[in-house]
Structure 1
Amino acid sequence: MIDYIYFYLLSPLHTGGTTQEGNLLGIARESHTNLPYIPSSTIRGKFRSSIAEQKEIQSKLFGTDLKDGKELEQGDIWIGDASILWLPVPSLSHSVVWISCPMLLNRWQRLQNNTSQLPAEYSCNFTNAQSPIYLKDAIIKAEHLKQWSSWKEFVPQTSETSTINRLLVLPDQHCTTLIQMSLWRQVKIKLDEQKSVDGGFRYEEAIPPDTLMYLSWGITSQANGTAKQSSVDFTNLLAANQILQIGGQESLGRGFVQQWIVKN
């Protein structure tokens, strides 16, 4: 059985990528879509470190480590990558609009075993389709917009997501472009003792706050009869850590997420 964890980003989140182009420090991206994501290893490591004082439960859930002085063993819990479901983009006409696309919604829907009909491209829940939507880097003409009444079937209805109320479904290629253009980019400059620039500068990308992401998790075949207790232990771990810090720049308040679990 597959269960789910949702992340609502409270601050920009940066997880280092494998490449750096010029002075731009990139973010982790899916190789086939080029979309940002949070690697499962990053999430697993954060959960594992949150119970560092509970060695027995830590080893049971996430496996042993070489520095534990024990034979390496697989843990009872597997954790997947975190994918984007809805990402906020600035709008000159509607403040903030959350965008997604059929590809992202279909990926989420398959994991959910959700049989609801996917919304058509340019489905929108917050306009009467008589006026255009002005986004930061695009204009969606009114004649393209389609009324979307069943939008709540594609947004988890929880208190954490209550602010996600202006939704727009874009074609896959346009959504990918807008997500790329809506990433945060922070300039980092090193100063010397005289507060003068020491060397060059660089930009660091980050997934913007108010993004909704999700990941799947479950019990490994290694559990061998301990599945129920391991599920309880992991659920308790999540309940005790509703706010997590993931990725780099913790000292700058980056990477804080609110998480909650959904069990099937």
Structure 2
Amino acid sequence: MLTKELFSICTFYAISPVHAGSGASTSAVDLPIQRERHTNWPHIQASGVKGALRDHYRKFAGEKQGQTINFIFGSDKDNDKNQEGFDGDHPGAISISDAKLLAFPMRSNVAPFVWVTCPTALKRLKNDLEFSGFSSFDDIPPLSGENALKLSGTFPAEVILEDAVVVASDLDTGFKLPVGFPKIDRLLLISDEMFDYCVSSCTEIQTQIKIDSEKGTAKDGALRYQELLPSDTLMYSIVYYSRSAGLNELQADMIQNHIEEVVKDFIQIGGDETLGRGICKIAWLNNGNGMGGVK
């Protein structure tokens, strides 16, 4: 039985490329990103999202942190040692979903680039909005092959997406992402098949080498290829709140307000923090009024 009392949606807009690594390579790419098993679409596992939120909270909560971080995120005896009031392991008062892909940036003949999404991605968003108590949007018509629909922005009749071409038509009914989502001003709805091509074959691949300081050349065996989600990728997670069992006065709405006050603006998620990777602008939508809102 679901006992969570409140919901928020946290959006992640990538300011720099993001590497949430899968830890295993099955292709020529040595360091691939995490992908869903059934769709092979990029995502960020919930553990990585929760860890990034916790780390941000730890850095910026200041004097408010104390033992509260353990009540909110669950006990972590290695990193957050203030265990006063705990009896063994303590589950957190928030639950966090995987970060799901919503809009993917693509090189195009429409300068400087376009974002693409697909019917299945929007259907997921619609289901998540309804589950979380937010106002939703009308059903999106199905698409196939090289057909596309203009959701926002101005497009020519034929739009080039990397090595593919789609034929763009106007959508009969207007479409807007829910209030609070980052503004996407060149959004194109493409078929699920074309979206699969985009997110499978058009991620960013970077070469990494290690230089021998004495010879000034690359060390043997130090060449590797790393996959990244490109800048301007848009993802989102659902966050559920409940009353903390260990701190009676810390109710779900207090936790929600506190988290959204501390964890805001920008967050680092994924690996290679010292290379500037994984910087995301975040925004919160909460359903405190039953219809959704934005912070």
Instruction: Please classify the TM superposition score into its range, dividing by the shorter chain length.
Output: 0.7 to 0.9
* Residue in 1 that maps onto 2:97: 80
Cα distance in structure 1, aligned partners of 2:256 and 2:44: 22
Secondary structure, counterpart of 1:48 in structure 2: helix
Residue 102 of structure 1 contacts residue 119 of structure 1 at CA under 8 Å; is this kept in 2? yes
Cα 1:189–1:106 change in 2 (3 A) is same
Deviation of the 1:250 alpha carbon: 1.4
* Residue in 2 that maps onto 1:229: 254
Q: State the one-letter code of the partner of 2:216.
A: K
Cα distance in structure 2, aligned partners of 1:173 and 1:2: 32
Residue 182 of structure 1 contacts residue 208 of structure 1 at CA under 8 Å; is this kept in 2? no
Q: State the one-letter code of the partner of 1:33.
A: T
Alignment equivalent of 1:209, drawn from 231, 247, 251: 231
**Structure 1 range deviating more: 46-55 or 85-94:** 46-55
Identity of aligned residues (%): 29
TM, length-normalised to structure 1: 0.88
Residue 110 of structure 2 contacts residue 155 of structure 2 at CA under 8 Å; is this kept in 1? no
Cα 1:139–1:221 change in 2 (3 A) is same
Secondary structure, counterpart of 1:140 in structure 2: strand
Cα 1:128–1:81 change in 2 (3 A) is closer
Cα distance in structure 1, aligned partners of 2:91 and 2:196: 36
User: By percentage of residues, which structure has more helix?
Assistant: 1
Cα distance in structure 1, aligned partners of 2:172 and 2:17: 31
TM, length-normalised to structure 2: 0.79
Cα distance in structure 1, aligned partners of 2:173 and 2:219: 54
* Residue in 2 that maps onto 1:138: 164
Cα distance in structure 2, aligned partners of 1:208 and 1:128: 22
* Residue in 2 that maps onto 1:17: 22
Alignment equivalent of 2:201, drawn from 178, 181, 194: 181
Where does 1:1-264 land on structure 2 (aligned, <5 Å)?
1-20=6-25, 21-52=27-58, 54-67=65-78, 68=81, 70=86, 71-113=88-130, 114-121=136-143, 122-125=148-151, 126-127=153-154, 131-141=157-167, 145-148=168-171, 150=173, 152-153=175-176, 155-158=177-180, 161-162=182-183, 164-193=184-213, 194-200=215-221, 201-220=223-242, 223=245, 226-238=251-263, 241-264=264-287
Cα 1:178–1:51 change in 2 (3 A) is closer
Cα distance in structure 2, aligned partners of 1:214 and 1:77: 16
Cα distance in structure 2, aligned partners of 1:24 and 1:133: 32
Q: State the one-letter code of the partner of 2:41.
A: L
Cα 1:221–1:169 change in 2 (3 A) is same
- Contiguous gaps of at least 5 residues in structure 1: none
Residue 60 of structure 1 contacts residue 230 of structure 1 at CA under 8 Å; is this kept in 2? no
Cα distance in structure 1, aligned partners of 2:155 and 2:110: 13
Cα distance in structure 1, aligned partners of 2:253 and 2:158: 52
Cα distance in structure 2, aligned partners of 1:46 and 1:3: 16
Cα distance in structure 1, aligned partners of 2:194 and 2:155: 22
- Contiguous gaps of at least 5 residues in structure 2: 1-5, 131-135, 288-295
Measured against aligned partners, the alpha-carbon deviations of 1:48-91 in whole angstroms (never above 9, x if no partner) come to 12333523110110111233365101011111111111111000
Cα distance in structure 2, aligned partners of 1:150 and 1:94: 25
Cα 1:219–1:137 change in 2 (3 A) is same
Cα 1:127–1:227 change in 2 (3 A) is closer
Residue 29 of structure 2 contacts residue 227 of structure 2 at CA under 8 Å; is this kept in 1? no
